[in-house]
Copies of this chain bind each other. A is one copy, B any other.
Amino acid sequence: MDKRPDPIGFGFFAFVKMNIFRIKSSYMFSKASQYAIKAIIYIWMKSLQDSKAGAKEIGSEIDAPEAFTAKILQQLSRAKLIGSVKGPNGGFYADESHTNKTLKDVVRAVDGDSLFTGCSLGLNKCSEKNPCPLHFEIVGIRQKLDQMLTNKSIKHLAVEVIKGETNIKRILQVNK
């Protein structure tokens, strides 16, 4: 390989990747959770139409890497948030037994519950009695988030999506 020092400054491209200029992601949910939510809504939509969905199909439809999606589906399956069957005509599905599963169940299965229980500043002894500077401010917001995620069943979400719009692709906004 050519190990000569970069002659005309293409190191510039490394430059833009440097700390200073890198933009972080930092959403409310991890990517894994985002994929999980999209996937499980999609599965419910299929199940409401009496069909299963395979990992590949799901990954492609929700615009998530297929192999990674498969891993996440395993987690959801282990957590009993969805069912799965192997073999021909197999795939992932949801039924009555999953009717009451909520967004919170999904997020917890994938990300654990530090989002709901941990101190927002990462302090391990934060509590009502010994609150961090943001404690009381954050608690209220987090409670709202928690309630919202707890109140929304996945099935309900899927039904809403179907009612409002039949084109899955558009609703999940997977196209660019």
Which A residues are closer than 8 A to B by beta carbons?
Answer: 19-20, 23-34, 37-38, 41, 71, 75, 78, 103, 110-112, 114-115, 118-126, 130, 132-134, 137-138, 140-142, 144-145, 148, 152, 157, 160-161, 170-176
Contacts and interface: CB of A to CB of B under 8 A. Distances in A.
Given A137-B152, A148-B141, A130 B26 contact: no
B37 A114 contact: no
Contacts of A171: 132-133
Contacts of A103: 134
Contacts of A119: 173
A122 B28 CA distance: 10
Nearest to A26: B111
Contact of A114 (B23, B33, B122, B176): B23
Given A27-B120, A122-B27, A172-B123, A148 B137 contact: yes
A32 B19 CA distance: 12
Which 7 A-B pairs have CB atoms at the shortest separation, nearest pair first?
A26-B111, A123-B173, A34-B122, A23-B112, A125-B173, A24-B111, A34-B121
B41 A114 contact: no
Contacts of A34: 120-122
